[in-house]
């Protein structure tokens, strides 16, 4: 698959983003990273919240690359998998990891409680914090006009 393939399959549509849109998404990302760190909330819910932060970071890369995912079946998969094209092949380990997280998040949201362990939440949070910094660096280097 490629971005053009997903575009022709109507899983993506072309999109022109703005600094305001990117700034708004970073507010969501920062909120979700903070909320996922709140103790006393279930590991499942914290994991799902951290997952959303990662998904929004992938969305930022997709928007900046000129595309928006079309809501529907598989839209999280497309958003995450698009990182290999928006950021580059070096993103493949992250794509694999986040797709595993997507499957875990689906279980916690739709199937059963008690799926996630605390160490999985911490690992995903660490990944989100690192991913956030990498996206900011990528923005600064390649799209400075869209920095939040």
* pLDDT 10s digits, 70-122: 998 999 999 999 999 999 999 999 999 999 999 999 898 888 988 899 999 99
- The CATH class of the 3-139 domain is mainly alpha
**What is the token pair recorded at 114?**
């008690």
* pLDDT 10s digits, 133-145: 999 999 999 988 8
The C-alpha atoms of residue 83 and residue 4 are separated, in whole angstroms, by: 14
Would you list the domain boundaries of the chain?
Answer: 3-139
Question: Can you tell me whether residue 63 is helix, strand or coil?
Answer: helix
């Amino acid at each position: 698959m490629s971005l053009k393939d997903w575009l022709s399959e109507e899983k993506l549509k072309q999109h022109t983003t703005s600094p305001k849109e990117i700034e708004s998404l970073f507010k969501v990302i920062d909120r979700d990273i903070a909320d996922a760190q709140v103790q006393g909330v279930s590991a499942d819910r914290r994991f799902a919240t951290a997952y959303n932060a990662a998904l929004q970071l992938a969305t930022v890369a997709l928007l900046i690359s000129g595309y928006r995912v079309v809501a529907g079946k598989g839209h999280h998969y497309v958003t995450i998998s698009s990182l290999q094209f928006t950021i580059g092949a070096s993103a493949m380990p992250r794509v694999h990891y986040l797709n595993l997280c997507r499957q875990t998040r689906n279980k916690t949201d739709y199937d059963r409680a008690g799926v996630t362990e605390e160490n999985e939440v911490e690992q995903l949070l660490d990944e989100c914090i690192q991913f956030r910094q990498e996206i900011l660096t990528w923005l600064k280097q390649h799209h400075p006009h869209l920095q939040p």
